């Protein structure tokens, strides 16, 4: 849903651009916008910030950002009283925290969480890679061939971008009192986070035509030169294409791990050429090397897996529709047509594959050897 948490797998290294960015600023995909959003001293991670999502929700609903400043908003009255009693029993150094808890215990509001729902909690991914000062996630397309034990990732993907410039200030600038789920009573909610800053889901943002960034095309195979203008590479509709080549190793490693760990639970497909078509959402970030080389390792944190993903665009823009068409056309040519032909001709379908197009094998025989258009 694009709130910004997850667990990453697999990294590649890149050198940082300058000491100033290393110390104080969040990284940005566009070189022209680097060094503009401060991350705090040495990019310190915000303490104890988590993203909570209702497992029963869909799209961008049922998402909250939870921190020590607003945790009591999510506790029921009994839990708040217990927290307050714990605070009162602590030593004097915790006096301020205890006072804050006691203050919120007197609130008449109830927790937005439901006792009979299940929730996923993930630590806020830090530092988030930005796009022109805004937070974003990427939608990646993958397919798992159950019957032959292979998994593929397509080279084309989307950037989905938040409507407002990024910051970690835990107040809603609009004064609406809404949290990232859009709940609130019209008054300023203590510890609320502005959804327009943290939510990157297209469905949540496309209503604001003035701020919505659109559906931005990206490519894992595209080389990008920081010295060139960021929009030098264009798709057929004249829109800029973003290079994400340095993040492909991390994305592919996550998909490989997903295929390996889900294999015991995914059955069938041997007889009919079945497959799982997936849409995966990732937050991009970096890990700092500890070897003194001043290098960063690009890492993609997996947020969630959608099976199957929606093939509708939020905008209907031609370049977005074309990307969807390319991904599905390559899937049909690689797997569906060859299997239909083999069945029609009463041949053994085992491993029947056509040209891969933009699909690359990341799991199975010859991991990573699937070059575009050649296999």
Residue 248 located in a structural domain = yes
Residue 146 located in a structural domain = yes
Give the model confidence (pLDDT) of 165-178 as tens digits: 998 765 443 333 34
Token digits of residue 210:
């003035």
pLDDT at 330 over 60: yes
Contacts (Cβ under 8 Å, ≥6 apart) of 251 = 10, 140, 153, 220, 280, 282, 300
CA dist 307 → 143, 304, 346, 374 (Å) = 10, 10, 31, 28
Nearest CA among 156, 155, 160, 250 for reference residue 200 = 160
Give the CATH number for residue 205. Answer: 3.30.470.20
Count: domains in the chain: 1
Residue 309 located in a structural domain = yes
CA distance 3 to 125: 9
Q: What is the pLDDT of residue 37?
A: 77
Give the model confidence (pLDDT) of 68-114 as tens digits: 888 888 876 555 555 555 555 555 454 454 454 444 443 445 788 88
Residue 222 located in a structural domain = yes
User: Which residues span the domain enclosing 229?
Assistant: 132-170+190-343+352-363
Confidence (pTM) = 0.77
205-219, 238-252, 274-288, 360-374: range with lowest mean pLDDT: 360-374
Residue 234 located in a structural domain = yes
How many beta carbons lie within 10 A of that of residue 271, not counting itself?
8
Asked whether the CA dihedral 77, 82, 85, 90 is positive or negative, the reply is negative
Give the model confidence (pLDDT) of 191-224 as tens digits: 568 888 888 887 777 777 787 888 899 999 998 6
Residue 331 located in a structural domain = yes
Give the model confidence (pLDDT) of 295-319 as tens digits: 788 999 999 898 888 887 767 788 8
CA distance 139 to 215: 10
Answer yes or no: are the C-beta atoms of 361 and 370 closer than 8 Å: yes
Residue 310 located in a structural domain = yes
pLDDT at 366 over 70: no
Q: What is the DSSP letter of 128?
A: P
pLDDT at 32 over 50: yes
Residue 177 located in a structural domain = no
Burial class (CB in 10 A: 0-12, 13-18, 19+), 258: buried
CA distance 92 to 312: 56
């Amino acid at each position: 849903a694009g709130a910004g948490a997850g667990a990453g797998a697999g990294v590649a290294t890149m050198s940082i651009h300058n000491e100033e960015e290393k110390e104080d600023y969040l990284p940005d995909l566009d070189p022209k916008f680097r060094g503009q959003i401060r991350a705090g001293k040495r990019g310190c991670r915000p303490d104890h910030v988590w993203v909570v999502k209702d497992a029963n929700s869909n799209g961008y609903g049922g998402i909250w950002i939870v921190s020590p400043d607003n945790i009591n908003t999510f506790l029921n009255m009994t839990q708040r009283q217990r927290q307050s009693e714990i605070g009162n029993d602590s030593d004097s150094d915790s006096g301020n925290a205890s006072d804050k808890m006691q203050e919120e215990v007197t609130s008449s509001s109830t927790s937005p969480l439901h006792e009979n729902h299940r929730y996923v909690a993930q630590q806020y991914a830090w530092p988030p890679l930005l796009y022109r000062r805004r937070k974003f996630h990427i939608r990646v397309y993958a397919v798992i061939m159950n019957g032959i034990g292979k998994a593929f990732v397509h080279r084309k993907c989307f950037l989905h971008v938040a409507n407002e410039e990024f910051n970690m200030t835990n107040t809603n600038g609009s004064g609406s009192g809404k949290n990232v789920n859009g709940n609130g009573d019209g008054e300023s909610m203590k510890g609320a986070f502005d959804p327009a800053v943290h939510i990157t889901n297209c469905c949540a943002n496309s209503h604001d035509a003035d701020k919505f960034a659109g559906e931005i095309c990206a490519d894992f195979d595209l080389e990008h030169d920081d010295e060139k203008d960021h929009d030098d590479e264009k798709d057929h509709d004249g829109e800029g294409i973003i290079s994400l080549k340095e993040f492909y190793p991390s994305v592919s490693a996550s998909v490989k791990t997903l295929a390996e760990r889900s294999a015991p639970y995914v059955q069938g497909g041997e007889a009919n050429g079945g497959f799982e078509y997936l849409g995966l959402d990732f937050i991009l970030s970096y890990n700092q090397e500890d070897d003194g080389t001043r290098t960063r390792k690009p890492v993609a944190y997996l947020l969630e897996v959608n099976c199957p993903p929606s093939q509708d665009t939020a905008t209907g823009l031609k370049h977005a529709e074309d990307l969807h068409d390319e991904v599905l056309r390559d899937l049909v040519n690689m797997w569906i047509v060859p299997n239909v032909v083999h069945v029609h001709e009463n041949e053994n379908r085992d491993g029947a594959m056509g040209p891969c197009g933009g699909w690359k094998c990341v799991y199975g025989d010859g991991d990573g050897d699937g070059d575009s258009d050649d296999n």
